[in-house]
Amino acid sequence: MAFTTYEIAYRLDVSEETVRRWIRTGLLKADDATGKYLVQEEDLQQFLKKRGTPAGKAMSWLASMGAAGVRATSPGVAFAASNMVTTAALSGLKLYKVLSGLETVGSDELSGMIDEVDKSMVSLRENLNVLRDQASKIEAQIHELEEIKTKLRDTSTK
């Protein structure tokens, strides 16, 4: 997964120019083949680790947790889940700072953070329902294949 300078700046609460400066000075590895900088998730994690900030450590930990947990599902679901986890990890940097007492926010911003958590919960519930629906369809296909196998066995014994 790749991130734009805007996405990184927004989620790390820095200016987009700061992110571009990190890239130009070689602190943050990026690809500009498309005409705009794109930073791979692994490169962003390494950059945050090198900075040694608690937020960087949280980002790396959250992203690695997500990557480890979503690979077992179907590729499309894994991609969506990986994107959600990574996005949540980047958004969670501010949350981490607030929860660990490194940063304070006003009641409006706190309310916004709570709203974001609610949105994430709704999204995860929707994804769970999709997975349940997919599981039902897969179970039906397995049952159908078992019936075919039984019919083939019956045909071979005649």
For residues 39 and 111, membership in a common domain is answered with no
For residues 96 and 26, membership in a common domain is answered with yes
Read off the CATH number of the domain in which 96 is found: 1.10.1660
For residues 112 and 76, membership in a common domain is answered with no
Closest CA to 81 of 71, 91, 90: 71
Residue range(s) defining the domain that contains residue 117: 107-158
For residues 114 and 142, membership in a common domain is answered with yes
Which range, 28-32, 63-67, 106-110, has the best average confidence (pLDDT)?
28-32
Give the pLDDT of residue 88. 54
Paired tokens of 111 = 């309310």
pLDDT digits (tens, 9 = 90+) for 79-101: 444 445 545 554 566 677 777 77
Confidence of residue 114 (pLDDT cuts 50, 70, 90): confident
> Where do we find the tokens 């953070």?
113
Maximum CA extent, the chain:
78
Give the pLDDT of residue 91. 59
For residues 79 and 151, membership in a common domain is answered with no
For residues 74 and 136, membership in a common domain is answered with no
For residues 9 and 77, membership in a common domain is answered with yes
For residues 92 and 22, membership in a common domain is answered with yes
Q: Supply φ then ψ for residue 82, to 5 degrees.
A: -60, -45
Break the chain down into helix, strand, coil percent, rounded to 5. 75, 5, 20
Which range, 5-19, 23-37, 46-60, 69-83, has the best average confidence (pLDDT)?
23-37
DSSP result, 108-119: HHHHHHHHHHHH
Domain count, the chain: 2
